[in-house]
Structure 1
Amino acid sequence: MTKNSAIERNPVRPTTKSVETRARIIRGALDALETHGIGEVTTRKIAANAKVRLATLHYHFDSKETLLLAVLEDLNASMLARYQEELRNSDDFETHVAELIRSIWRYVERTPEQQFVQLELTLYALRTKGSEWLAAKQYDAYIDVYKRLIVEGRGTQDPALERIGLALGRFILGGIDGLILQSFALRDAADTQAGLEALIVAARDYLRHLLDS
């Protein structure tokens, strides 16, 4: 069975109890990752943290990787909901992109432990043979979130706009990742703010280039 077929297969009937149990396992996994880090987290520890039997965990998730993917999907859903809640679309495309970047950074500052988890999961996936797909899945999901927020409210399904959203989403994600590492390493708020404003300027310039090309 391939990884993708394992992800798509869902043997659990969607009863209220099973949905609640699955959600509790995901929360338990996130709590364990935030507290201990990926290196010390096992499915047994996650089950104990979620207060379920190990067999119950494996009934819902057939591997550690599929559980980690569920954690990432849950984080992305929460992230998207928060952005949509606080982001106000502007008729001016450049202003909209600038406000999106500031909204992203506010979320980063509010959720430092989750940022550590996401960074650790990326490295874990890249360093674990057979789990590289998880890192690709993770980054595709981030880029899709950014793309959706970039084109949201533009009032068109123009393929050219989708292309712009995808390219700019990749660009913004790369800049935000760099700022996260710099912020955590140097702990210099003024330097981080300067870097954020530089990213906004660069994103606006890149947007103009994409619109003209």
Structure 2
Amino acid sequence: MARVEAAVRSRQLIAAARDVLSREGVARTPLRAVAAEGEVPLGTLQYVFPSRELLLRAVIEDMVNEIGDVFPDSAEIEGGLANAIREGIRAFWKRLASNRKLQLMQYELTVYALRTEGQEDLARWQYESYAAVVAAWCAQAAEAAGEESAVPLPQLARIMVACVDGLILQYVCDPDDERADQDLERIIDMLVNLAAPRPLGAR
């Protein structure tokens, strides 16, 4: 069997874990199931990820990185902060948020981290990372357009995450696409009004 580079093997196993976790749920996903999905011996999985906790941490980190990739692909930052908010949230919803199984897995991982001794900080890091990704994207858009937000960008980002996260949870419970799309547009309008972008230095 050809030797597989560690980084490649790690990505392969994280992808396998995400598939199984999305399909079966966190509580019903043993390491053996992930190894089978990744088509590797259990010993290989345990060599790369010596514990279930380390594997789940890697999955959460992968999800954070995926969210970070959505925003640069969503809209040109030269369009200003309002445009970045609108197009970024729409792109996120279309690509990730409306994936019910993926979002259910994310909530399960958050609860798992909060309930597992020694893993509580992972849940906090998860949401801090989501907000940091959004804040950085908004900062780039505002800077490129010579704008500033009426509220501090870290605060704006936390509120954006909270609003979209709440809508996702409703969608997971009751996946009504038409209602979710309408509610998303109202959330976007509210967030743009909250940010109230203005020329840098204007009062």
TM-score bracket for the superposition, by shorter chain length:
0.7 to 0.9
Contact 1:76/1:141 (<8 A) preserved: yes
Moved more, 185-194 or 135-144: 185-194
Within the alignment, does 1:184 sit opposite 2:172 as a pair? yes
Counterpart CA distance in 2 for 1:150 and 1:126 is 29
Equivalents in 1 of 2:177, 2:36: separation in Å? Answer: 38
Correspondence list, 1:153-168, <5 A: 153-155=141-143, 164-168=152-156
1:121 pairs with 2:115: no
- Are positions 1:51 and 2:73 aligned together? no
Structure 2: state its 5+ residue gaps: none
Match of 2:96 in 1: 108
Q: Is the 8 A contact 1:100 1:150 kept in 2?
A: no
Matched, 1:22 2:23: no
Does 1:97 find its partner at 2:56? Answer: no
2:138–2:153 Cα contact (<8 Å) kept? yes
Offset of 1:119 from its aligned partner? Answer: 1.3
Is the 1:126–1:135 contact (alpha carbons within 8 Å) kept by the matching residues of 2? yes
Q: Which moved more, 1:77-86 or 1:36-45?
A: 77-86
Report deviation, 1:50: 1.5
Cα deviation for residue 37 of structure 1 reads: 0.5
Inter-partner Cα distance in structure 1 for 2:178 and 2:98: 17
TM-score normalised to the size of structure 1? Answer: 0.79
Distance 1:95 1:102, change over 3 A: same
Judged with a 3 Å threshold, the aligned counterparts in structure 2 of structure 1 residues 99 and 142 are, in CA distance, closer, same or farther, namely: same
CA distance in 2, matches of 1:171, 1:164: 11
Whole-angstrom distance in 2 between the partners of 1:82 and 1:16: 28
Offset from partner CA, 1:21-67 (integer Å, 9 cap, x none): 11111111111101111010112221222122222222222321221
Separation in 2, partners of 1:23, 1:118: 18
Cα distance in 1, alignment partners of residues 132 and 21 from structure 2:
24
Deviates more, 1:36-45 or 1:92-101: 92-101
Counterpart of 1:147 in structure 2: which amino acid?
Answer: A
> 5+ residue gaps in structure 1?
1-14
Shift of 1:209: 9.3
**Counterpart in the other structure of 1:205:** 193
Residues 110, 197 of structure 1: CA spacing in aligned structure 2 closer, same or farther, 3 A cutoff? Answer: closer
Question: Match of 1:33?
Answer: 21
Moved more, 17-26 or 51-60: 51-60
**Partner-residue secondary structure (3-state), 1:96:** helix
Identity over the aligned pairs, expressed in percent?
A: 29
Question: What corresponds to 1:146 in structure 2?
Answer: 134
